[in-house]
Amino acid sequence: MKIVGSRPSPEKGTGPVNLRVPSPFPGWRVATAAPRGYIRGMGQRVHVKICGVTNEADGRQAALLGADAVGINFHAPSPRAVSLPTAEFILRELPPFVEAVAVYVDEPLRNVFPMLNQLGRIRTIQMHGTLREMCDAYPFHFIPAFPVVDKQSLMEIGHYLDTCRAVSKMPSAILVDGHAPGQHGGTGRSPPWGLLGDRRWDVLLILAGGLTPENVAEAIRVVRPYAVDVASGVEASPGHKDPEKMRRFIDVVRNVD
What is residue 5's predicted lDDT score, i.e. its pLDDT?
Answer: 43
**Residue closest to 193 by CA, chosen among 204, 182, 177:** 177
Q: From residue 136, give the alpha-carbon distance in Å to each of 6, 60, 141, 160, 174.
A: 6, 31, 9, 15, 15
Distance separating alpha carbons of residues 230 and 210, to the nearest angstrom: 8
* pLDDT 10s digits, 78-98: 999 999 999 999 999 999 999
Amino acid (1-letter code) at residue 1: M
> Taking 70 as the threshold, does the pLDDT of residue 23 lie above it?
no
Task: For residue range 97-117, list pLDDT tens digits in order.
Answer: 999 999 999 999 999 999 999
For the purposes of burial, counting CB atoms within 10 Å of the CB of 85, is it exposed (0-12), middle (13-18) or buried (19 or more)? exposed
Q: Does domain 44-256 have CATH number 3.30.1490.100?
A: no
| This prediction's pTM | 0.82
According to DSSP, the β-strands at 15-16 and 6-7 are: antiparallel
Question: pLDDT by residue (tens digit) across 149-197?
Answer: 989 999 999 999 999 999 999 999 999 998 555 554 555 678 889 889 8
DSSP string across the chain: -EE--EE--TTTS-EE--PPPPPSSTT----TT-SSBPPPPTTPPPEEEE----SHHHHHHHHHHT-SEEEEE--TTSTTB--HHHHHHHHHHPPTT-EEEEEEES--HHHHHHHHHHH-S--EEEEESS--EE---TTSEEEEEEE--SHHHHHHHHHHHHHHHHTT---S-EEEE---TT--S-------HHHHHHSB-SS-EEE-SS--TTTHHHHHHHH--SEEEESGGGEEETTEE-HHHHHHHHHHHHHH-
Indicate the range of 18-22, 43-47, 153-157, 219-223 predicted with least confidence. Answer: 18-22
Give the contacts of 243 (CB within 8 A, at least 6 positions apart): 61, 65
Catalytically active residues, by annotation: 51, 177
pLDDT recorded at residue 86: 97
Geometric angle at alpha carbon 171, from 28 and 122, rounded to 5°? 95
pLDDT at position 178: 83
